[in-house]
A and B are shown apart, each in its own frame.
Chain A
Amino acid sequence: MNGVNEKTNRIGWWFIGLSIVGFAAFMIYPIVSSVKLVFSSLSGDSSTFVGFGNFVRLFHDTTFWSSLGNSFLFLIVEVPIMLLFAIILAVVLNSKTLKLRGFWRLLIFLPCVTSLVSYSILFKMLFSADGLINKFLENIHLISAPIPWLTDPTMAKIVIILALLWRWTGYNMIFFLAGLQNVSDEIYEAAEIDGASKIQQFMHITLPALRPIILFTAVQSTISTLQLFDEPMNITNGGPNNSSTTIAMYIYNVSFKYVPNFGYAAAMSYVVMFIILVLSVIQMKVANKDD
């Protein structure tokens, strides 16, 4: 028996060996060597060891804090709205009485297969001063002058949030929809017989049943929102007045636009990673409180 196990083991190792090599070369090695970067200041091809100098500098860097603030704002406003929409949509699309269910599901998931850059450019066009949205609002006489969607700091943030909602709600909905398949109809039937309203059913059956999925989507959305780059880069280019510059954009600028300093950029990346780690742990602790 033992011999067979050993043999299967060996074959198994062969199967995963290749991906381990790839993982080591392209993930583990860069991560380990980035630790070295964090403690040095690189100006182009000259490198000096600065210890925690990058972190001290980062602490005083107002641009770092303001872009981190922007990223957090997107996180705090967009993620809860998106997840709520996603759950509601999932419940509606799970209803047995809904006609053309497959069609609606497809329609809501479709934005997720569009490329980030192309949908961002489309949003930029839609919301430009003489874009479709303004033209439409003017034609139905809702507004008399074009709304400065992309040129007003608050409006620009709203446009980016709208874009994110459009792109990612369907993606999260799929997870909830999958989660709902595991909830037995009998529970709802029993609840109905006991006189529970639809809202009560949602609050006391659906939501608890979806808890692990909510956790998963919340953690994943937190990670991706803190790394937000494509949308602000393409829709507003961080403007106006740097009001939509995210931390990932600032890291990019420090690496590729300004005097290149990969050490400083790596230090910022580690701070963001640490924040994500802390947020993820908190979310898990909150979600698993009763376990």
Chain B
Amino acid sequence: MKKFTKALVGMGVVMASATLLTACGNSNSSSSSNSGTTTVTIWADDPNFNVPVMKTAVKMYNAEHKSSGVKFKVQTEGDYNTKVQTVLSAGNKKNYPNIIKIEDYGAKKLISSYQDAFLTQDSVNLSNFSAYKKSVVSYKGKTYGMPFDSGVSALFYRKDIFKKYGVTAKDLDNITWDQFIKLAEKVHKGSGKSILGTGALIGEDPDMVRQLLQSAGAWYFDDSGKLDVNSTAFKESLKTVKKLKDDGLITGYSDFNARNKALYNGNNLAVIEGSWFSASIKADKKSSGKWGIATVPRLSGVKGATNSTNEGGSSWYVLNTGNTKADNAAKKFLKTMFDGNSSFYAKVLKNQAAVATYKPAMKNKEWDTTDTFYNQKVNQYFKKNMNKIPAVSYGIHSSEVENILSGNLGNYYSGKTSLNATISKIESSYKSQVGSN
């Protein structure tokens, strides 16, 4: 028995420490060059969006650079953000892909944590892109990313039902949240349906708060990267969501699929999301003609509040694989296609509805055609508003803050804690969690 217990303790200790400490993650891509040809590996995550966009870029690039000796490999990676972070943590340059897509919100975190892994893209002309992208792809005064798509937000709403209760497209244009709430109440009372919907429980959904914050040029942090949840913009954002909730105008669904279902079957009449969400609205073909888009309401009483904001969006980054030939080929490829080829952008706008931030391509007439699903010039709206999105610095600790928010906002929205108590709780949690870093 004694021996058995000793063995058991030993086993316990080893098992405990081993399972907790060995983080698993493997990647098996290579960017090595074998006899003459250089391979450039590109990672993207969305098989319906950025993967075909990249494939189009590669195809067009190859047609013009037949004897470059570079082979491009576009790989679709699942569980994307974790995978990128894992391959960077492992620090084995040979395993790095050459080009990766990074969501704008998470870019600074990765660049600041793994400075040696990223190469600067000095040749990118940032004035070619929507202004708000500059702070996203820059770090310490250098350009690290090639700006790509925008998540310029819109209010997607059921115009047929809104109209039935006397709310027209004109009423919704460039209004404040107070005005919106009045209109929404009319539709809500008449139809008995929820107006706005979030793809998570209301207290756990960062999307709404993010969009409201950025619409007023604010974020969780100030420009120096310090937590800034005591701002008027932050307070007003939370108050707005609480008011929507108290009036029964917003519903939090357990996940995105549940929300889509409610949007398709008419239980939920509107949603505020980035331009990319248009694809999900359009997926329900039978509702063609019933949906419209309008500007996002602006916060009342907040300095710098606008009707333009953003949700999501991403940029392309080049990793330092140690193979100079491949690294340079990757940079050249991005520069040629993403900062210089308007016909490429026209193609992906048409085929993948890619709302890119490259301004020279916006002259293309594809941007100004009427979308037959909405019966509205949707891309023109995106184009106009994209350049009005207030620029904010997303900082490096957004994930931490959002996790703290989901632990605290639920209590505020349900009325259990006051606004000021909630904010000081968020501040103290942040301080204790992020610590000295």
Could you tell me the distance between the alpha carbons of A241 and B204 in the complex, rounded to whole angstroms? 7
Kindly state whether residue B86 has any CB partner on chain A within 8 Å.
yes
A86 at the interface (CB under 8 A from B): no
User: Interface centre among B88, B204, B407, B408, by most A CB within 10 Å?
Assistant: B407
Interface residue? A251 (CB, 8 A): yes
A76 within 8 A of B: no
Tell whether, in the assembled complex, residue A239 and residue B406 are in contact, meaning their CB atoms are under 8 Å apart. Answer: yes
Contact residues of B with A, CB < 8 Å? 1, 4-5, 8-9, 12-23, 81-82, 85-86, 88-89, 91, 109-110, 112-117, 201, 203-204, 252, 254, 258, 396-397, 399-400, 403-404, 406-408, 410-411, 428-429, 432-437
Let me know if A31 and B21 touch, CB within 8 A: yes
Contacting pair B254 A151 (CB below 8 A): yes
How far does the alpha carbon of A285 sit from the alpha carbon of B436 in the complex, in Å?
Answer: 40
Contact B433 A62 (CB under 8 A): yes
- Asked if A99 is an interface residue, CB under 8 A from chain B, the answer is no
A269 to B110: give the CA distance in the assembly, Å: 23
The answer to whether B435 and A57 have CB atoms under 8 Å apart is yes
A260–B85 CB distance below 8 A? yes
Q: Can you list 16 pairs linking A and B with CB atoms under 8 Å apart?
A: A34-B17, A41-B436, A129-B254, A219-B8, A223-B16, A240-B201, A240-B204, A256-B23, A258-B397, A258-B400, A259-B437, A269-B21, A277-B13, A280-B9, A288-B5, A291-B1
Q: Pick from A26, A31, A64, A239 the residue with the most CB of B within 10 Å.
A: A239
Judging by beta carbons under 8 Å apart, are A241 and B407 in contact? Answer: yes
Nearest CB of chain B from residue A228's CB, rounded to whole Å = 11
| A253, chain B: closest CB distance, angstroms | 7
Interface membership of A276, Cβ < 8 A: yes
Chain B residues whose C-beta falls within 8 Å of the C-beta of A27 in the assembled complex: 14, 18
Q: Mark A224-243, 1 if CB is under 8 A from B, else 0.
A: 00110000000000011110
**Whole-angstrom CA separation of A27 from B15 in the bound complex:** 9
Whether A251 touches B432, Cβ cut-off 8 Å, given contacts A43-B113, A284-B9, is: no
Asked if B5 and A284 make an inter-chain contact with CB atoms under 8 angstroms apart, the answer reads yes
Q: Bound complex: CA of A270 vs CA of B18, how far in Å?
A: 10
Determine whether A7 belongs to the interface, using a CB cutoff of 8 Å to chain B. no
Known A-B contacts A45-B113, A288-B1; the reply to A260 vs B429 at CB < 8 A is no
Given contacts A45-B91, A128-B254, A273-B17, whether A241 and B406 have CB atoms under 8 Å apart is yes
A219 to B105, CA, bound (A): 42
Contacts of B203 in A (CB 8 A): 240-241
Tell me the smallest distance from the CB of B7 to a CB of chain A, in Å. Answer: 11
**Is there an interface contact between A239 and B21, defined as CB atoms closer than 8 Å?**
no
Name B116's contact: one of A45, A63, A215 (CB within 8 Å): A45
> Would you list which residues of chain A between 131 and 176 have a CB under 8 Å from chain B?
150-151
Tell whether A259 pairs with B204 under 8 Å between CB atoms, given A44-B88, A273-B20. Answer: no
The interface residues of chain A lying within 8 Å CB-to-CB of B88 are: 44-45
Would B18 and A31 count as touching, CB distance under 8 A? yes
Asked whether, in the complex, the Cβ of B404 is within 8 Å of the Cβ of A63, the reply is yes
CA of A223 to CA of B10, assembled, Å: 12
Using Cβ atoms and an 8 Å threshold, which residues of chain B touch A289?
Answer: none
- Is the Cβ of A277 less than 8 Å from the Cβ of B435? no
Q: Cα distance A45–B117 when bound, in Å?
A: 9
A219 to B24, CA, bound (A): 25
A248 touches B20 (CB 8 A): yes
Distance A255 CA – B117 CA, assembled complex (angstroms): 18
Q: Give the docked Cα–Cα distance between A44 and B86 (Å).
A: 10
| CB within 8 Å: A-B pair count | 157
Since A57-B436, A240-B203, A241-B410 are in contact, a sample of 18 more A-B pairs with Cβ atoms closer than 8 Å, ordered by chain A residue number, is A30-B21, A31-B17, A41-B437, A44-B114, A50-B436, A57-B435, A60-B435, A212-B4, A223-B12, A227-B16, A241-B406, A253-B399, A256-B82, A258-B109, A259-B397, A259-B437, A276-B13, A277-B13
Quick check: A227 and B19 within 8 Å, CB to CB? yes
Let me know if B13 and A273 touch, CB within 8 A: yes
Q: B106 — nearest CB in chain A belongs to which residue?
A: A257
How far, in angstroms, from A226 to B19 measured CA to CA in the complex?
11
Residues of A within 8 A of B (CB): 26-27, 30-31, 34, 41, 43-46, 50, 53, 57, 60-64, 66, 128-130, 150-151, 212, 215-216, 219, 223, 226-227, 239-242, 248, 251-253, 255-262, 264, 266, 269-270, 272-273, 276-277, 280-281, 284, 288, 291
| Chain A residues whose CB sits within 8 angstroms of the CB of B406 once the complex forms | 239-242
Task: Choose one: A53, A241, A257, A270; the contact of B17 (CB below 8 Å).
Answer: A270
Chain B neighbourhood of A253, CB < 8 A:
399, 403
Give, as a whole number of angstroms, the nearest-CB distance from B17 to chain A.
Answer: 5
Name the A residues within 8 Å of B85 (CB-CB): 256-257, 260
Chain B residues lying within 8 Å of A241, measured Cβ to Cβ, are: 203-204, 406-408, 410-411
Which residue of the partner chain B has the closest CB to A56?
B435
Residues of B within 8 Å of A251, CB to CB, are: 20
**CB of B253, distance to nearest CB on chain A (Å):** 8
**Cβ–Cβ contact A262 & B89, under 8 A:** yes
Question: Which residues of B are found within 8 Å of A64, using beta-carbon distances?
Answer: 433
Known contacts A27-B14, A240-B201, A273-B13; A257 and B428 CB within 8 A of each other: no
Q: Is the CB of B204 within 8 A of A219?
A: no
Q: Least Cβ distance of A30 to chain B in Å? A: 6
> Closest B-chain residue to A242, C-beta based?
B407
Instruction: Report Cα–Cα, A46/B13, bound state, in Å.
Output: 29
Q: Which of B12, B411, B436 interacts with A276 by CB under 8 Å?
A: B12
A contact residues around B428 at 8 Å (CB): 62
Contact B17 A269 (CB under 8 A): yes
In angstroms, Cα B109 to Cα A44, docked, is 9
B18 near A45 with CB under 8 A, answer no
4 shortest interchain CB distances as A-B pairs = A44-B113, A242-B407, A269-B20, A57-B435
Contacts of B23 in A (CB 8 A): 252, 255-256
- Are B429 and A151 touching (Cβ within 8 A)? no
Residue contact A240 to B410, C-beta cutoff 8 Å: yes
- Min CB distance, A58 to chain B, in Å? 9
Give the complex CA separation of A190 and B15 in angstroms: 42
Distance (Å) between the CB of A258 and the closest chain B CB? 5
Alpha-carbon distance between A60 and B432 when the two chains are bound, in angstroms: 6
The smallest beta-carbon distance between A278 and chain B, in angstroms, is 11
Q: In the bound complex, do residue B115 and residue A150 qualify as a contact, i.e. CB atoms below 8 Å apart?
A: no
A34 to B17, CA, bound (A): 9
